[in-house]
Chains A and B, each alone.
Chain A
């Protein structure tokens, strides 16, 4: 009995010391959670969350001032991943999955001012001075930055249409037959 108590407390002391040393010598700069949260975010610095960029959003997430549903373009998948990282529960039914959109330029109205071209964070717009610009839909993330700056309002945000390859059955739990 005594031996058991003794050995366990010795063990506890040793392990405690190891942990103490480890925390001193293996200290990580900043919160490691922030880095992990940042890795989950899209990284396009689009600002749709209301923060300056993804890094600030990640900090707010780990500080608990932003909910896991902070990132609108990330949608349900990112919200779920963030929630599980932060150990929070999240009401995903509440995250109205905003239908993803891509920018489309009306070629008749474009004056080739290159404003949108300069703003696009993913280089999804092709064009040059005085040339008609166009959007490479596969690279567009629907951040609406170009939409905001176009002086002739010729940019339209169009929902991405489902194709036979991307269409799938709706969730039977949400379908009321």
Chain B
């Protein structure tokens, strides 16, 4: 298949050998599971259970609120211990509403969960509704509700589904293992999604460092001429939606647009597999594959983890730390976020837990920019990271925005290559957050203005009514008096 070149990008050492040859293992149940009500973009789910209630595996414990939301289900059978606040799987260390479940060890599925004999006989709406009910979200880390993405066909004219098996982040191997061990399931899920999207063409993009996954997917895709497996060159960030689509089709996604603008929808292989399970077996999303790796981990593994399992439980299963990690990361080392503690639970979007040593993270004190231009060459979005960072440092966020801050995908390529260890992408993350906060402040200000004006009008109306009532009373008292005089 003909591929197109993209600009920029970097070649970090992929370090996938640590975990790539470890077959998927089922992680034993932890003593307590902490299932957050929000594991997706959009509105949090509302609790659908009470404290003390017994639930079966796959039973609904949090109901979706509105279309931009996702339900959560019991990852195993057991008793609800409480609904409260628990540290989130998030760099901030903030707590979120979380349901705590004590497994009973039986791991008993809810009765009556049944798949559809022929998902291709369903209407696209039905498929999307089942995907929504199964709580499936983008499992590559974006956690965007998948059903919303499947319903894009109503607004865009689509022609291709791309399965993003690039897995370009170093260390991570869970998509690789999934495609090797469950190729048929991934393919089936992809075909069901294509049916829901109303497209026939499917391209499965896999980087060349995963030859077995490429072979496995090519094997199962052989009977379908409309499905192609593309062998992608190794380059970070190949897995960025827009860059992947450009490599595969040569089409550029408009700035700040969606790939759907050019007729393409991108899904992750793990999402495809979850769709397969939801439609064929009727099973909601209650577990996911997680790569536990890094040189500070004794035995790197690919684990199938019930959602809500504390990160510490995974680390213990992998033999604990070989040495004290210099950094604990959720996701890949390039775009992943530091984890505040190992107490936090695994959620729908966690694809990796990395314990990295000081030599692996190559940190160093940052020194002034030497204007070498490496960051400019590395940026896959054609931006000028050095100038953007200079503006952000000086507090001139407007200037950063003018230079294209909103086009930055936060891939970290610029920070990766910078010889002066300047925290470039950290500046951009801060600037984006600050701009969003200002946007919210502005919105609140408009809202305040409306409220204040509303109040002023009401006060005015009350005053007027009072004056009129007074005038009317005066007239009334004046009239009878005049009548009496006459």
Contacts and interface: CB of A to CB of B under 8 A. Distances in A.
B329 to A, nearest CB: 15
A167 to B, nearest CB: 4
Contacts, number: 73
Given A42-B445, A164-B90, A168-B436, A123 B451 contact: yes
Interface stretch (B145-153, B274-282, B369-377, B421-429): B421-429
A122 B451 contact: yes
B430 A168 contact: yes
B432 interface: yes
A139 B451 contact: yes
B434 interface: yes
Given A139-B451, A164-B38, A168-B436, A43 B445 contact: yes
Contact of B455 (A93, A123, A166): A123
Most buried by B among A123, A124, A172: A172
Majority secondary structure of chain B interface residues (helix, strand, loop or mixed): helix
Given A164-B38, A167-B92, A42 B449 contact: yes
Given A44-B448, A93-B395, A139-B451, A162 B92 contact: yes
Given A75-B441, A164-B94, A45 B452 contact: yes
B455 A77 contact: no
B94 A77 contact: no
A100 to B, nearest CB: 9
Contact of A166 (B38, B437, B445, B454): B437
A169 B429 contact: yes
B357 to A, nearest CB: 18
Nearest to A162: B94
A77 B447 contact: no
Nearest to B431: A171
Nearest to A100: B441
Given A42-B448, A122-B451, A166-B440, A171 B90 contact: no
A44 B446 CA distance: 10
Most buried by A among B392, B427, B445: B445
A103 to B, nearest CB: 14
A123 B440 contact: no
A22 interface: no
A163 interface: yes
Given A77-B438, A164-B88, A166-B440, A172 B426 contact: yes
Given A43-B445, A75-B441, A169-B433, A164 B426 contact: no
A120 to B, nearest CB: 8
Interface in A109-129: 121-124
B454 A123 contact: yes
A163 B38 CA distance: 12
B96 interface: yes
Interface string B69-106: 00000000000000000001011101010000000000
Contacts of A163: 94
Contacts of B444: 141
A171 B442 CA distance: 21
A170 B91 CA distance: 12
Most buried by B among A92, A93, A167: A167
A167 B96 CA distance: 13
A168 B428 CA distance: 11
28 contacts: A42-B449, A43-B452, A77-B441, A77-B442, A92-B395, A93-B395, A121-B455, A122-B448, A123-B454, A123-B455, A124-B451, A139-B447, A139-B451, A164-B88, A164-B92, A164-B96, A166-B440, A167-B90, A167-B92, A167-B94, A168-B429, A168-B432, A168-B433, A168-B434, A168-B436, A172-B430, A173-B393, A173-B427
